[in-house]
Structure 1
Amino acid sequence: MKMRTKMKTARIHEYGDASVIRYDDVPRPRPASGEVLVRVAATSFNPTEAALRGGLLQAFLPLDLPHTLGWDVAGTVAEVGADARGFAVGDRVIGRLDGAGAAAEYVRAPVATLVTAPASIPLTDAAALPVAGLTAWQAVFEHGKVAAGQRVLVNGAGGGVGGFVTQLATYAGAEVIATAGPRSAEAVRRQGADHVIDYTAAPVGAALGGPVDTLLNLVPLSPSDAAALAPLVRPGGRIVSIATPIEPPADAGVTAMHMVARNDVAQLAALVELVDAGVVGVDISASHPLTDLGAIHRLSEVGGIRGKVIIVP
């Protein structure tokens, strides 16, 4: 079957609010050497993409405009470029595309960024894994060094990263205390949290019942909220934040860091294995067509999203 020469994309031609997202017809790309062309089954929305669209990340992540959105990709190999080894036409793949571009019907992807998609879940759902899953893996295992027998506080467990963090910390054997609002609490329990604290009802510290070994913070915080969380970690413990940095007192004996996740295909492949083993589930809260991406950006900016939202071209 002959593929069309044009494809739909969601692009920005300038920085700004969600109204700058445009749905353009553009030429379908061809894979370069070392690349494959992926027919996109789905991408997923990550809140950082709203900051990217708004120009807040220009200092360290400048864009060539127009820019096609979408870091996560799940799809099927449609064409193989020269010297692109490891995948064949028809293979189901997922990956994190640091150059973005997955909010489209097709995307070029270096084979070095892709792994075989999970066999046990729909291919569209697998689009939720790369960015959020890698962030969670690195927060839990690399930086948090979560291990069996520890008490771990997951602050912001109801978000897309939070679901994976909760499951991976549980898999590591930790006692997981998770904060979540009323609409996310049940999902967080299903993901393995031993205790769920409703942060809308009382201060986290009052409901915690003693210090924790590790605090994994996944949400933006006010200075006062960040300061209130720092003392909840015991001396010798760790604080890892993917959002607002949390600085413990200098004499607290606590290791604190602010992390930015990197692309790592070995870790992504390990996540796929855990999904296929039934250890890690993928919680898709909603699925939308590509032309709803602007609405999803607006909803995210007012706190209206739970879990992972996938976008289907």
Structure 2
Amino acid sequence: MTMMKTARIHEYGDASAIRHDSVPRPRPAFGDVLVRVAATSFNPTEAALRAGLLHAFLPVDLPHALGWDVAGTVAEIGAGVEGFAVGDRVVGRLDDGGAAAEYVRAPAAVLVAAPASVPLAHAAALPVAGLTAWQAVFEHGKVAAGQRVLVNGAGGGVGGFVTQLAAYAGAEVIATAGPRSTEAVLRQGADQVIDYTAGPVGAALDGPVDILLNLVPLGPPDAAALAPLVRPGGRIVSIATPIEPAADSGVSAMHMVARNDVAHLAALVELVDAGAVGIDISESRPLADLAEVHRLSEAGRIRGKVLIVP
């Protein structure tokens, strides 16, 4: 029996709940492929899952292997799988996790060809953050050329893709970010960066915006302060704290949860290979450092996307 290493939680708790286990390498079932993992990437929601904060609507069986994003190479193909061959470079979102490991069994239906223009490990930053950004910008925000878009929380992993996709759509992008993220956000296509640590966002904004894309958890006062920044007839899309505009404002608002969509992921890969979207990797860590990455994220010390390499 061939063994492999994986990062799992056996119980909910703080970052020390993450254990590094040696388990049998899985075999692909019908419709699956076995992927040799080049990297997964860290998403802050995984820290919430580890802590048990998502249990009510995202229950998992324990022990649970972490890692929703995967980029790697097809190592073995299960029965009923077409369109993939051993050695193919693939990327995908694994709704059941498991990519924080040397190998992972993945449904072929959630995988697409990885971008050819970037290192394979870097593609692991795309699925969760990229799909969230794509659906926020195009599906729910309906961002179009000439619109003014406020991206609240552009310095995070999702924020980098949101900024790039909104700029790609031809919008004027106004982004909020802390000082350490300003240069990166400007490189990603923001026309203006507002330092949210320097004072109220509205005080630095020159006129209302058409669309507000909120990517960060907010307290009630901060959420209430953002809503009036959107013009009548505009839209608010939040992936974090719901933001409710005044009933008579004429502003529509929604709170979204991204779904797994291989067509959207394939479109993102095309934009990466075309040079229209870049993948900002802030650092790469070995699997043994996963607990430390969780701690850094919970302390607010993560910028962009962090790769976890087995």
Task: Give the TM-score category using the shorter length.
Answer: over 0.9
Does 2:92 correspond to 1:95? Answer: yes
Relative to the length of structure 1, the TM-score reads 0.99
Does 2:289 correspond to 1:292? Answer: yes
What secondary structure, in the 3-state scheme, does the structure 2 residue paired with 1:33 have?
A: coil
Distance 1:154 1:64 in 2: 36
Does 2:83 correspond to 1:86? Answer: yes
Q: Deviations over 1:171-211 (max 9, x none)?
A: 00000000010000000000000001011112100001100
What secondary structure, in the 3-state scheme, does the structure 1 residue paired with 2:222 have?
A: helix
Structure 2 residue aligned with 1:51: 48
Alignment of 1:13-162 (within 5 A): 13-162=10-159
Structure 1 residue aligned with 2:225: 228
Query: Where in structure 2 are there 5+ consecutive unaligned residues?
Result: none
Alignment of 1:268-283 (within 5 A): 268-283=265-280
Does 2:213 correspond to 1:216? Answer: yes
Query: Where in structure 1 are there 5+ consecutive unaligned residues?
Result: none
Distance 2:178 2:58 in 1: 32
Alignment of 1:176-215 (within 5 A): 176-215=173-212
Structure 1 residue aligned with 2:246: 249
Distance 1:260 1:142 in 2: 12
Q: Deviations over 1:216-263 (max 9, x none)?
A: 000010110000000000000000000010000111110000000000
Distance 2:191 2:270 in 1: 24
Cα offset, 1:5, TM superposition: 0.5
Structure 1 residue aligned with 2:304: 307
Distance 1:51 1:249 in 2: 30
Give the total of aligned pairs: 310
Aligned-residue sequence identity (percent) comes to 85
* Runs of 4+ deviating beyond 2 Å: none
Cα offset, 1:278, TM superposition: 0.1
Q: Deviations over 1:17-56 (max 9, x none)?
A: 1000000000000000000000000000000000000101
Distance 1:143 1:176 in 2: 17
Amino acid at match of 1:286: E
Distance 2:223 2:12 in 1: 30
Distance 1:45 1:13 in 2: 19
Amino acid at match of 2:165: L
Distance 2:125 2:72 in 1: 12
Amino acid at match of 1:218: L
Distance 1:86 1:220 in 2: 40
Relative to the length of structure 2, the TM-score reads 0.99
Amino acid at match of 2:253: A
What's the C-alpha RMSD, in Å, of the aligned pairs? 0.6
Amino acid at match of 1:193: A
Select the residue among 162, 167, 182 that pairs with 2:164.
Answer: 167
Distance 1:62 1:259 in 2: 19
What secondary structure, in the 3-state scheme, does the structure 2 residue paired with 1:183 have?
A: helix
